[in-house]
Structure 1
Amino acid sequence: MSRTPYTSATSQSAKMRKDESFLGRLGGTLGRKKKSKEVSELHEEGKKAINAPMLPPGTDIHPEDTLLEENAERIMLDPTSRENPKFKDMLKVLIDWINSELEEDRIIVKDLEEDCYDGQVLQKLFEKLSGRKLNVAEVTQSEIGQKQKLQTVLEAVNELLRPHGWSIEWSVDSIHSKNLVAIVYLLVALAMHFQAPTRLPEHVSVQVVLVKKREGILQTALVTKELTSTTEMMMGRLERDAFDTLLDHAPDKLNVVKTSLITFVNKHLNKLNLEVTELESQFADGVYLILLMGLLEDYFVPLYSFFLTPESFEQKVHNVAFAFELMQDAGLKKPKARPEGSL
């Protein structure tokens, strides 16, 4: 008597019960996952509903911008401000200035966010401007190493700028996270403190998105940040020179000093059949200053090195900046004045 049919039927029945049990468990698992996903989506929709009215149009909140501790906040540049012509002009001015300062180091900056975040450029720039060597590793690839370098650089910067009344609008985290507003604040402060031979655009303001975390919920607001004011107000932070002091305390003696300077200048410029009668206007474009340096140092300044009859503002700035270079080559200290400040 064969038992095969019975065994086969029993085995098939057991397999069906097993499959039903597995499908049941699978259905329960899928059901729980679906329900959990729905709850999660509902929670996210609730957060978005709360935050949406405060979120500026066209602003993208990236995932890393939401990873905030409770009561922490983060600032991001509003997209409309990024396209502001005056702001874009400021970025170009700052980039050109940095590249001019670091030309000897063969460092070329093309993008402030991508080139300044790791501390390498900021280190070289600060060392060049201050004449102070920082004790940091030359090359750092790791995030920890980059932040350590930034920490050292920013401590030196803050130590230098804070006593002069600068508001510290940057931090290690903001610079390393490529916060363009923080980077620009830092560079503007350095440019003004060290009297960079460039003209920063006046009245540059940007709108930033301020993201805060309160009770686990992200809150956003639009805030206006002023990056530069007028040249006069920004220059007011700089150290006053002897002529400022003379003008404040003995204005009657200023004309005596000017007369003496004119006599000295003409003693040399007369050799070229040139004469100065008014210092402010005749030295403003840099031509007489360049020629005077050549006469005092006894060399001929090639005419292709400067604009003999400058017409544009840029050409005049070039002349004055070139004259300053000749002064430094002669062993004089770097002038406190800015080339464009004479125009």
Structure 2
Amino acid sequence: MEADIFLYHKEEDTLDVESFQGEKRKVIQPASLKDPKLEKLKEALGDWINRTLRADHIVVQSLEEDLYDGLVLHHLLSRLGGVHLSVDEIALTSTAQIHKLEVVLEELDKRLGLQDGSGIKWDVKLIHSKDLLATLHLLVAMVRCFQPDVDLPPNVKVEVVVVEVSKSGIKSDVQTEVLTEESRDADSASLGNTEREDPIEQLLKLDAHKVNTVKKAILHFVNQNMANVGLQVSDMDKQFADGVILLLLIGQLEGFFIPLFDFNLTPVNHSEMVHNVTLALDLLNDSGLQISNVAPQDIVSQDIAATMKVLYLLFKKHKAKCERTSREK
């Protein structure tokens, strides 16, 4: 068994036995690397990173190859935790990369509540050596801490070989490593989903008069801000469908001007409407508002739940600032 394991990793150039003599190292079994559940987890984590770092123009294509130098982890920590560290933006040498990882991982471990060292399944050496298992454990922990509403595939497990190299030889043992927790039973899952359900989805299940009360509050907030450009919204269900008012509202709230050549001011077909709404959602993501489970087509098709989700997030973010402005006037 041991010979096969080391032959495989020698061919893939991913394991240097001498580099961890005297240590224990967990190595994912080749069969587990092809597990569809693991592939889905890697894809979900990659998509999450790319959505989070879109404004930084960072694109991750391989978790194994793109996180080892600390750049991506540094930006994730800055975006998600609001932490700005005094480290070089780009570390070119191995020494500089290791130093950067030491600083970033020390702060990350604090944010994850693991500063005492217990429960940590990654370290600088493992991340820098492009250890996939350690990288996955770290990213899953970050999602659970910073954005627990992000859906990761449940019940992802891999078979690993625990290898210990010493002067007397090599010892190994096959174990199962849990990357994401098992799904709850149907009742517990149903309860958990209700607790995590989007506030707007919960709202729309209430009595009609309660829904209308919230819609009026959001509409008042919208018109407060659209008055500056001489526009009035009376029909929330329809007037946001072409994306124009949504774009103008975002510009007013976020304090920037959207060039008219970037969108269609008078869209005449479905494609132009989708373009406008797509631009609006991209701008919101770039500004740090994570819009989940809303596609541009939802807004264009006048899906009131989708429209209210977007407006509610803007309302929630800017309501206090607008109230202060009104009082000062």
Task: Indicate yes or no: 2:149 matched with 1:224.
Answer: no
Letter in structure 2 aligned against 1:60? H
Counterpart in 2 of 1:181? 133
Task: Point out the structure with max Rg over C-alpha.
Answer: 1
Q: For the residues of structure 2 that align with 1:183 and 1:194, how far apart are their CA atoms?
A: 16
Taking structure 1 as the reference length, the TM-score comes to: 0.58
Q: Deviations over 1:167-195 (max 9, x none)?
A: 21110001001011111111111111112
Shift of 1:266: 2.4
3-state SS of paired residue (1:209): strand
Same amino acid, percent of matched pairs: 29
Is this contact kept in 2: 1:102–1:125, CA < 8 A? yes
Residue in 2 aligned with 1:267?
213
Residues 11-26 of structure 1 mapped to structure 2, 5 A cutoff = none
The alignment of Structure 1 onto Structure 2 pairs a total of residues equal to: 238
**Gap regions ≥5 residues in structure 2:** 189-194, 197-203, 227-232, 234-238, 243-276, 278-295, 322-329
1:218 match: secondary structure: strand
How far apart, in 1, do the equivalents of 2:299 and 2:81 lie? Answer: 33
- Aligned partner of 1:143 in structure 2 is 94
* 1:274 paired residue number: none
| Helix, strand or coil at the partner of 2:31 | helix
Question: Residue 240 of structure 2 aligns with which residue?
Answer: 302
**1:210 partner amino acid:** V
Alignment of 1:106 with 2:57, yes or no, is yes
Mark the CA change 1:317 to 1:154 in structure 2 (over 3 Å): closer, same or farther.
Answer: farther
Aligned residue runs from structure 1 range 280-319, under 5 A: 293-294=218-219, 296-298=221-223, 300=233, 302-303=240-241, 305=277, 306=296, 307=298
C-alpha distance in 1, partners of 2:81/2:169?
Answer: 44
Distance 1:332 1:201 in 2: 36
Q: 2:24 aligns with which of 49, 73, 89?
A: 73
Q: Residues 11-61 of structure 1, C-alpha deviation per residue, up to 9 Å, x if partnerless?
A: xxxxxxxxxxxxxxxxxxxxxxxxxxxxxxxxxxxxxxx944xx5598434
TM-score by length of 2: 0.60
- Aligned twin of 2:46: 95
AA aligned opposite 1:176: H
Kindly report structure 1 stretches of 4+ aligned residues shifted beyond 6 Å: 258-262, 315-321
Q: Does 1:330 align with 2:318?
A: yes
* Contiguous gaps of at least 5 residues in structure 1: 1-49, 237-242, 245-257, 272-291, 334-343
Deviation at 1:82, TM superposition (A): 1.3
| SS across alignment from 1:229 | coil
CA RMSD of aligned residues (A): 4.0
Residue of 103, 115, 121 corresponding to 1:169: 121
Q: Which deviations, in whole Å up to 9, do the C-alpha atoms of 1:107-132 show, x marking residues without a partner?
A: 00110111101100000011100011
Does the residue aligned with 2:22 lie in a helix, a strand or coil?
coil
1:207 aligns with 2:159: yes
Go from structure 1 to structure 2 and tell me whether the alpha carbon gap of 1:194 and 1:215 turns closer, same or farther (over 3 Å shift).
same
Which digits, 9 at most, give the CA deviation of each residue in 1:241-284, with x for residues without a partner? xx99xxxxxxxxxxxxx999975532354x7xxxxxxxxxxxxx
User: How far off its partner does 1:221 sit?
Assistant: 2.3
What residue identity is the alignment partner of 1:93? A
